[in-house]
Amino acid sequence: MKNTFGNHISVTLFGESHGSAIGAVLDGIAPGIDVNEAFIAEILSRRRPVGAISTARQEADNFSIVSGVFNGKTTGTPICILIPNTDTRSGDYSQMRYAARPSHADYTAQCKYHGFQDYRGGGHFSGRLTAALCAAGAICLSALQAKGIQIGTHIHQIGAVCDRTFEDFSADIAKLNRLDFAVLDDNKKEAMLAEITSAKAEGDSVGGILETAVTGLPAGLGEPWFDTVEGLLSHAMFSIPAIKGVEFGAGFGLGSMRGSQANDPFYAENGEIKTKTNHAGGINGGITNGMPVVFRCAVRPTPTLAREQETVNLQTGENTTLAAKGRHDPCIVHRARIVVDCMTAITLCDILAGRYGVDWL
């Protein structure tokens, strides 16, 4: 039963959606790194639900750091962060104890944990635990920013509405990190909100695509086979609930290109080697080439729906139907973008520590 990710710098998640608290342990971080609690709170606020387009569950996310930080600096020992759960309504899940929600983890949790799992609110499988990931990831984001490494994610698509892609990476990332609803083309926001509102009105949900860019990474990070940068980042992204696809650079679009179109020609400028295009997403042979790392994540529609769905009663084995009660997001794309940022930061800190040693940060 493993709940830890990372090799040199690792994060461990604990807690359940309706338990007393959730939390994370961040281990391997070097001593002396600034820990700004106001910045952690800001990162958590970007994940928090917003109005009618999100769940009605309102958690304050008043975190406490109980170890690993002293006088605003990391000590080098494990950092444990606790976030209380204060707005739970466990009674909403009584009818769903045995009625497995389609495409949710209810059935697979029953198979793995033999009925002993905490089913309330999805238990340990809940997206609620991404708050703890964000708290730990905020420390990693801050450490990377101090090294000139910037991470930004925008809502590339919700339903049928698409945002523009990255153009000026530095300016675009700076803009995204000021926004609660992270789109690059301001004119797309209202259409995306309308997609979410429409799905909610029908008792349904809607998914989308997130696009992430990382600048400032040195060339030479990663390994050629099993610990490629794509492999490690994909591993991290697929640990986020609802992520069902990851592609780098031109991704699946490469399948319709000729090699002459897909290749990224090299050129030298002021002593640096760069590429004229970035179809590879900043990675060649599993190793960073110094260009921005760019990838996209497909976010599935939230599986818990107010409309009736077919399912099976896990206690009796009989076919039944379920219209879920409770407070659920009609779309999580806008909230998931900061989770992607934070998981990216944790992964890159681990990769950098493996290349240069943990004290490099």
* pLDDT tens string 267-313: 999 999 999 999 999 999 999 999 999 999 999 998 888 788 898 99
Q: How many domains does the chain have?
A: 1
User: Does the pLDDT at position 56 exceed 80?
Assistant: no
The one-letter amino acid at 212: T
Q: What is the DSSP string of 207-235?
A: -EEEEEEEESPPTT-S-SSTT-HHHHHHH
User: Does the pLDDT at position 148 exceed 80?
Assistant: yes
The token pair at 293 is 């790392």
Q: What is the rounded CA–CA span in Å between residue 173 and residue 182?
A: 10
The token pair at 104 is 């949710």
Which domain range does residue 240 map to? Answer: 4-127+138-360
Q: What is the dihedral of CA 215, 78, 343, 172, to 10 degrees?
A: -40
145 within some domain: yes
* pLDDT tens string 15-40: 997 888 999 999 999 999 999 999 99
At residue 48 the predicted structure's pLDDT band, cuts being 50, 70 and 90, is confident
Spatial contact of 112 and 316, defined as CB atoms under 8 Å apart: no
133 within some domain: no
Spatial contact of 55 and 42, defined as CB atoms under 8 Å apart: no
Q: Quick one: pLDDT at residue 126?
A: 84
User: How much is the average pLDDT of 95-120?
Assistant: 85
What percent helix, strand, coil does the chain show, rounded to 5?
Answer: 35, 25, 40
257 within some domain: yes
132 within some domain: no
103 within some domain: yes
What CATH number does the domain containing 297 carry? 3.60.150.10
- In this prediction the pTM is 0.94
* pLDDT tens string 210-234: 999 999 999 999 999 999 999 999 9
